[in-house]
Structure 1
Amino acid sequence: MRIALDAMGGDYAPEAVVKGAILAAEQLEKDDVILLIGKEDVIQPLLNEYNYAGNNITIVHASQVIEMGEHPTKALSQKTDSSIAVGYGLLKMQKADAFCSAGNTGAMLVGAMFSVKAVEGILRPSIGGLVPKLNGGFGIMLDVGANADCKPEVLEQFGEIGSIYAKYVLEIPNPKVGLMNLGEEEGKGTVVTQAAHQRLKANTNINFIGNIEGRDLFNDKADVIVCDGYTGNIILKMAENIYDILNEKNMHDPFFDKFNYEAVGGSPILGINGNAVIGHGVSSPKAICNMVLQAQKMVSSKLSERFHKKYSV
């Protein structure tokens, strides 16, 4: 297995990324390799400084970096030797099984859409957000930022995509799908959510349990939470802020500690030709490590191949 990792992406790159790669390398299988993408004359001295002498990390040189504030589309087209462009190039040529970056989120999304592209039959690739559950483990919410506005048929497909991720990556045998709404009753919501409800209800490929409300996010009512990216992003950022507030007040609890972005490392981009994970811009070594390990699980579960099998003609 080859996992490409953007060494130059993130507020604390490259130091935090290299440290995270070393932590992840210790937990990978013997034959797994992390392809650390970036400026070799910067990465190699760090590997030496941190006394890394293993065989699970290989440097792939990339001379350019897409900074956080750059315009995604413009930067990708002009910086063809950037770490993000090279990472997606490796993914597209199947020289990497997954690509992870805590760099420019927009560039990661643009690269996913225009480099490796969506699986044929996928209406809109989405970003999945992992949601801690009170009974242990995680559920998945999608979309959390890629698609602010969604048609009913897109929301229906999110239910299918999320179910595949939940079943094979989160190992939930028959994941329950809930539509985030402003009431449990079938007739509640906007014109879009009402139409999406009917489509989800009629879909025999998923275990749809109906509408759910915000208070159901962390209980066991639904394993897959379907919503548009506008709603999902607000929920995700609010949950992150709850952790920050509790941490500032020195209040700790095993459940709320899972709200920390470090716990999962990043958000998967679902529905593209390959496996990609977007990390938080302020990713620490622990977060980088967990992002790589999440990518490893996505590859091991053959997630991308399962999307192809379901949707490609």
Structure 2
Amino acid sequence: MNQPIKVAIDAMGGDFAPESPVKGALMAAQERPGDIVIVLIGQEDAIRAQLPEEVPANIQIVHADEVIGMAEHPTKAMQQKTRSSIALGYHLLKEGKVDVFCGAGNTGAMYVGALFSIKAIEGIMRPALISHVPMVNGNVGVILDVGANADCKPEVLAQFAQLGNLYCKYVLEHEQPRVALLSIGEEEQKGNIAVQAAHKILKEAEHLHFVGNIEGRDIFLDKADVIVCDGFIGNIVLKMAESVYEIMNKRNLHDAFFDRMNYEAIGGSPILGVNGNVVIGHGISSPLAIRNMILLAEKFAQAELNSKIKNALLQSI
């Protein structure tokens, strides 16, 4: 019998913590009682105040004295608040006491914490944040980077393609993911200098199914499974998609495709290229978003993507 996946959650992270993280954890724990154990990290009294009298058997609490605020400087906060819920989450992950760590708090602190604690996989130039992309025909693709790396060299973009390809294969179970660069035209010579140079690298990458450039209007049309761009562009695309859903929802317009642009449906963005499983959620995460982040984290951990990334890097040397 397989051991349940241990998912650690920063219970103090997010605009509505600890209420949203705890309620979302309860939803996930009740849905998957034999499959996951959820470890809530944070100020114990505040966490227990959100829990029912009878706590599900697959929920645990780890007390953390300190909290890193949403507006705090990530590097300074991680150095100064060594007893914070984020710092303890990474400690548990590094020690192998949990399989995956999730948080909807300070995004910078979550990313910096990963680099300081579990560190990047050897050979990874820049770990990337990845997000799911709904397609009009019901399929799901990915886009990366979505905010961790605003400026990228061509070699970094090419490596993002490799990371996204592996995620699509082993987490989303696409047999042969189609990889594309997001650009201002389909032609090979279109785009800025970095995109043009990355195109040349990817065109020669025999282990990838590279389909060339796609434009912004193609993102949701299932022309590629892996969409590669720098974090500046990726974050704009992500926030624009979220805003489309919000506008439609406020106008009481509902559609199955646009409903999948709701950040709650996606849950979070995994970090690819670090020595551990990490998922970062939206700061405004609701209980439903936290629940979906936990379920995504479970699937992410089960895929054992880190070992597959390491093997792929060895084969490319």
Superposition TM-score tier, normalisation by shorter sequence: over 0.9
- Partner secondary structure for residue 117 of structure 2: helix
Superposition pairs for residues 89-238 of structure 1, below 5 Å? 89-238=91-240
Letter in 2 for 1:28: R
Letter in 1 for 2:36: D
Cα 1:186–1:31 shift into 2, 3 Å: closer
Cα 1:155–1:52 shift into 2, 3 Å: farther
Decide whether the 8 Å contact of 1:143 with 1:229 is kept in 2: yes
Q: CA RMSD in A?
A: 1.2
Superimposed CA distance per residue, residues 87-146 of structure 1 (whole angstroms, 9 cap, x where no aligned partner): 011111111110000000110010011111111111110101211111113211000111
Task: Quote the residue 2:28 is aligned against.
Answer: 24
Task: Quote the residue 2:284 is aligned against.
Answer: 282
Letter in 2 for 1:38: G
Task: Quote the residue 2:294 is aligned against.
Answer: 292
- Partner secondary structure for residue 128 of structure 1: strand
Task: Quote the residue 1:3 is aligned against.
Answer: 7
- Partner secondary structure for residue 222 of structure 1: coil
Superimposed CA distance per residue, residues 42-95 of structure 1 (whole angstroms, 9 cap, x where no aligned partner): 2123213xx543211100110110011111111111110100000011111111
In 2, Cα distance between equivalents of 1:72 and 1:123: 20
Displacement of 1:309 after TM fit? 2.2
Letter in 2 for 1:4: A
Q: Could you tell me which of 33, 36, 42 is aligned with 1:38?
A: 42
Unaligned runs of 5+ in 2: none
In 2, Cα distance between equivalents of 1:307 and 1:153: 16
In 1, Cα distance between equivalents of 2:81 and 2:313: 33
Decide whether the 8 Å contact of 1:119 with 1:311 is kept in 2: no
Decide whether the 8 Å contact of 2:139 with 2:222 is kept in 1: no
Letter in 2 for 1:136: G
In 2, Cα distance between equivalents of 1:251 and 1:76: 42
In 2, Cα distance between equivalents of 1:111 and 1:209: 35
TM-score (norm 2): 0.96
Superimposed CA distance per residue, residues 238-296 of structure 1 (whole angstroms, 9 cap, x where no aligned partner): 11111111111110101000110000111111110111111011100000000000000
Q: Could you tell me which of 12, 15, 34 is aligned with 2:16?
A: 12
TM-score (norm 1): 0.97
Cα 1:52–1:218 shift into 2, 3 Å: farther
Letter in 1 for 2:185: G
In 2, Cα distance between equivalents of 1:204 and 1:25: 43
Task: Quote the residue 2:75 is aligned against.
Answer: 73
Displacement of 1:29 after TM fit? 5.1
Decide whether the 8 Å contact of 1:31 with 1:56 is kept in 2: no
Q: What percent identity do the matched residue pairs reach? A: 59
